[in-house]
Structures are given as C-alpha cells and as structure tokens.
Amino acid sequence: MSSDTVRVRFAPSPTGFLHVGGLRTALFNFLFARKTGGKFILRIEDTDRTRYVEGAVENLIKTLHWAGLEYDEGPIAGGDYGPYVQSERTDIYKKHIEILLEKRVAYRCFCTPERLEQMRKEQEKKRLSPKYDRRCLLLSEKEVQDSIASGKPFVVRMKVPEHVPVRFSDIIRGEVEFMSDRVDDQVLLKSDGYPTYHLANVVDDHLMKISHVIRGEEWLSSTPKHVLLYEFFGWELPKFAHLPLLLNPDRSKLSKRQGDVAVEDYRAKGYLKEALVNFIALLGWNPGDEREIFTLEELEKEFSLERVNKSGAVFNIEKLNWLNFQHLRRKPDTEVLAMLKEYLTHSQNSLQFTVHSSQFDDQYLLSVIGAMRERVTFVKDFVEKSPYFFQAPKAYDPAVVKKRWNQQTPEHLKVLVDEFSQLVSPQKKDYEAALHRAAESSKIGNGGLIHPLRLAVSGMGEGPGLFDIVLILGKEETIRRINLAIERIK
C-alpha cells in the first residue's frame, strides 16, 4: 500500500468530553496512518447544532494532544482539504444535495414532526420497523414547487431503491450484506439547512480523499446508507473497518451509568497517558503474542487492522490499574520527581503538611520515590500511601497498637532513643546495629522494637523497609516521632 493512498480521519462531534471509545477510534486511525506512512485527519462534525457544547472542540484537541495523537490535517493545523469543521462547509453540502435531487435519488419531504410522530406510533402498534412511508415521494412537481413557494419547511430524503442487496467489504468483519428494504429513506438535509451526519460524512470523506473509514461498530447499520450515497454520486467506496463495541464487565455496552467514560475523568484521577493509550489499544486488538506493555512508538510499529477482533472488548479497570503501575515503574526517577512535585504543589490532597519544608528538596523526594516505587500505582500514592514521609502521624493504627504495643514498649523505645542519639551521620546499617543493641540491653527480640518503631514513625503496621523510612526521615525527626508516640499511645 503506497503512502500517498492512506488517508484516515477521526470525526468526533463536539458534544462534551471525549469518550474513551472515541479515543480508541482516534488511536486506531492514528496507528494505522503511522504504520502505513499515511495521513491522520481530524474533522469536527458539528452539524447537529442542538447538541453542540461550547469549548468542546478545544477540549477534544487538547485531549488528543495530551494522549500524543498529533493529527496531520485539521482545525488549527490546516491542510489542503479544509475547512475541517462541517458547519463551515454547508454550501458544499447544499451543492451536493442539488446533484442528488437532479438525479432523482433524493426528494423533498414536507411532513410535519407531528405527522411523522403519528406515523411512528401506528407502525409500533402494528409491530412494524419504523420507516418513512414515502408520502412525499408521491407529490407531483407542481405540488413540490407550490409548497416551496409558500415557504413550507422541508427536509431532503434519500430515495432508497427497493428489494436490492447492498454489499460492502469490511476489513474486520469480511463481506457484509443488507437488503435495501431494511434501510429507511434517511434525511440528508434538515429543515435548518444543515446536513445530517450521513450526507456530510460521505461528501467529506470523498472530497478529503479518505481511503479507510475506521469507526465503531455502532455505525455498521448506517453503512448501507453511505454505500448507496457513494453509488448515487458515482464515487469509489473507501475501505471500511468497524471496531468492536466496548463493554462493561457484565458485557453491557460501556456507559456513564456504570462508571467513568470520559478520557478527562481518567486523566483527573492520575492515570498516565502511556497507560491509558496502552490499555485502549488492547481493547479489541492484540499483537498476536503474550505481550501487553507497549509504548505509543511500539504500537505504531505493531498495529494492524487484521488483528482487530470482531467480538466486544471488556473494559477491565483492574487491567488499566496494572498497566498504570507498570508504566509508572518504567519511568525514570527525574520524570516521577517532576510529577510528584506537580502533585504536591497543585493537588487537593487531604494532608496538611507539617514537616519542615527543607525536607521536601529534590533529594528527599527522590528518596521517597525510591522507597515506594514498587508499592504505588499512581503518583498520588506516594502521598496517600505513605503520608508519614510528609507529616508525623496524627493517629496510630489501633489494630497494630493492640498487637504490637505493651506496657514495657515505652521503656524499650527510650533505650532505642539513647542508642540513636549517639549516632553520627548514620547510614541504614548504623540504625540497624543501634536497634540490635537496644533490643539486647532490653533483653527482648529485635521484633519487640521493630514493630513499635514502625508504628511510632509511620502510624502504620506495614510499608517499605523500616530502616529505609528511618534513613529518609533522618535521626532528629525519627527521635522526635518516637517521643511523640511514647507520649500519645496509652
């Protein structure tokens, strides 16, 4: 396939936030373009003015940029086939409607919304599929012209041929066939002069030289209408590929009712773009082997439409969390440090930091990252799972107190404080040796000090290596916290 033939597009409607299903469609188009050396185009389908949301276009572009999906042509970027916003192309659609009317493969419909509603109700009573009954197709040319002259509002419908098979090839699904009797006389131009999705989509795909239409399975039933329009205009069909549905774990269609579906929701929760892109790539596609962790660059090399499945893809949040953990682990310390500093500066976390600010220098934070790296899934976990690195504990886990703290513990810890006080520039091994000496002189096992010490410095019963915590906190802070615990824990 030569690089000048592959042109794919992502064509979202600006109706709010970007759905994860939309991000997957964008990603698969982007990967296919990069793999084949083709062009990835962003087109804004904003002809449904009733659903238009102010600022949604800017948000879409910002979200694609965050995910690393840079488009080659589109709003702001420009290109040879613009404008790339459909509301700026209405004259183009009107010209093409005239072509269809002249060919008599489309007709004007003057039916009122009330009449159409009544028709639908009667069809439902008779258990018929809802379809326009073609009343206006029977109007004479004079009746049509008189209605136009009197200012009667109208839409333009396509005239679907009767009793013919409509066939097309789908890269994912193979040969697909619909009988035309199942296809409604679709509205192509609304009474407000704006085209419907179906007309604008086909006209734009042709004029923008789109070679492959890669979109969600929900558009499969609309494709016969599009195929017929290509035939009416005498245009060559693009290649189609309909991606599998995204499903909740109960195999219902992914929806807001069962959890977050907007990319922005996941971003706000601290998911890394690398993890989200990796996860979404695996929703319906696989590399043909056991690999699961990919960078965007690796996906560009590996991706193929032939390895996209037909069956629905389950959105498994545990898998996304695991991928976030894996990608965070792989990041260099300097990058994690920058993200942690950003979080500490801007987050609305629940902690009121009381530790002296000098302890938050880069070296201190890098030590925290080193201690916690294998225990965190999100950057926020460095704070949420180990708050003791940022403030002395305000409370102590009662279950650990009950199990690990007894009447003799304060006296034993005072011996440990004496040992720690004598250390000069201690390293981890020095703290260990000091604890061992304190345990010996108190005639108890090391565990009799290790567990209370962990409780005193962290308020918890588990976490990274105890002596790693002590080393990071430093001698003075560790002693201060032991004395606080002696005072507070009864």
CA gap 337, 476 in Å, rounded = 25
Q: What residues are annotated to the active site?
A: 256
Do 196 and 184 meet the contact criterion of CB atoms below 8 Å apart? no
Using DSSP, state whether 139 is helix, strand or coil.
coil
Structure token digits, residue 387: 């708050």
Question: Residue 441, Cβ neighbours under 10 Å: how many?
Answer: 13
Question: Which residues, listed in sequence order, are joined to residue 165 by a DSSP beta bridge?
Answer: 179
Structure token digits, residue 69: 């999906």
Give, for 178, the enclosing helix (H) or strand (E): strand 174-179
Question: Residue 191, Cβ neighbours under 10 Å: how many?
Answer: 14
Structure token digits, residue 470: 């002590």
Structure token digits, residue 226: 């599009």
Do 39 and 73 meet the contact criterion of CB atoms below 8 Å apart? yes
Do 109 and 136 meet the contact criterion of CB atoms below 8 Å apart? yes
Structure token digits, residue 188: 């192509």
DSSP assignment string, 124-153? HHTTPPP----GGGG--HHHHHHHHHTT--
- Which of 45, 140, 153 is closest to 93 using CA atoms? 45
